[in-house]
Chains A and B, each alone.
Chain A
Amino acid sequence: MTSENNKERSMPVLTLTNLAKRYNRKVWGVRKMDLEVEDKEFVVFLGPSGCGKTTCMRMIAGLEVTTRGSIILHGKDITDLPPRNRDISMVFQNYAIWPHMTVYENIAFALKLQKKSRSEIDRTVKEVAAMVKIDQLLSRIPGQMSGGQQQRVALARALAVKPKLFLMDEPLSNLDAKLRVVMRTELKAIHQRTGATSIFVTHDQSEAMSMADRIVIMKDGEIVQVGTPDDVYFRSADMFVAGFIGTPPTNFFPVEMKTAGEKVELSHPRFAILISGSDADRLKNNGQNSLILGVRPEEIKVVPEKDSLLSVEVMVVEPQGSFQIVAVEIEGEIVKIVVGSAGKIQPGERLHLSFVEERLHFFNAETTKRI
């Protein structure tokens, strides 16, 4: 137990160095992965399909041969070890519960192979079954169970081995929307209780935001950004991250920069905005005049006409209960705005908008990187 203020970095549990995977000597699944995972951390690999997140997890599990690089777990190089010698466990997307075994046998499988005593196996199985609330189902066979129950069995099986590293490959994506949110909370609670270092793969950014200590955002087999949910949301490393994280995602406006004394002016065909302070300094130092301005939907405000930056006509309104998403068209691009639910907005209505200036994002128009 370390005390709260003693926050020195401990040795990483998992270190990936220059990890890469190529299929058939031509197609790169993962180009380059460098990552350190801390003890008890919950790390989420997030990215669109085909970005290499699952391949990377399968390499950590030992189910894919690595083309290059190394995987160190608790100081031991496991790059070329078979899965059974890696001290890991895994929850598969399609559960992969063995249909010819009862729930009890499924959970006890690994323990039996470890030659644990009968009483110890029995104790562990009952303990983890209670943790995921399937203690009533131990004698059932998986064919008689719902998807949610099977997912719980997969979870119990993975918890039973008390691994050094807990891998989860899109474990919630086969569940219905309501159950997914329930399981999300339970998984987080289980993680807090067991403290097992975990890697979780998903393509669902809201799942990643709600569960992760740190999110690893991947694209085309490479890491784009590693950071806390706040990091990736408020300080997105590039336009890909800004456009991937958040529902609805960041709105982008191409702007031209002009220096105006201490300040800089960003001009768009429909509006011009003055930037001051450290943001202005950064933009001046950057030197480029063509930029992309990124504004999160909730950082566009509806204001009285006299304070407004621009006025637009409402195209579509999507009520969400506690808020509404308003879509407007600005220079041929759809821009989405999150507005509180007070005061119903109608399509065709004119809105006067302004931006929250301290929360603007600036990106290089060519490299798409954050400025």
Chain B
Amino acid sequence: MALKVLTANRLKDGEVVYYNHAEGWTPTFAGASIARDTETVETLQKTGAAAAARNEVVDVNLIDVMHDGDDIKPLRLREIIRASGPTTHPQFAR
């Protein structure tokens, strides 16, 4: 199955965040927990819905990610740009 990561935008400031099992919502893609099986995907789904219901985050999505050498990166360009910031502003790279 496709690897998945849980992402959202923080309610208060809109910042892009990723979910980590141990630390909760983190601003870096590298810190995201990766779901490799359907059970973990379901857990992430529930976690995301609960966080949205608690008004911590908005626009909660499970996104597809893939291996890129030793690293993991989002599959779609949209998510690559969300993870790293606008390509037009290297000074805002995350």
A binds B: no
List residues of A whose CB falls within 8 A of some B CB: none
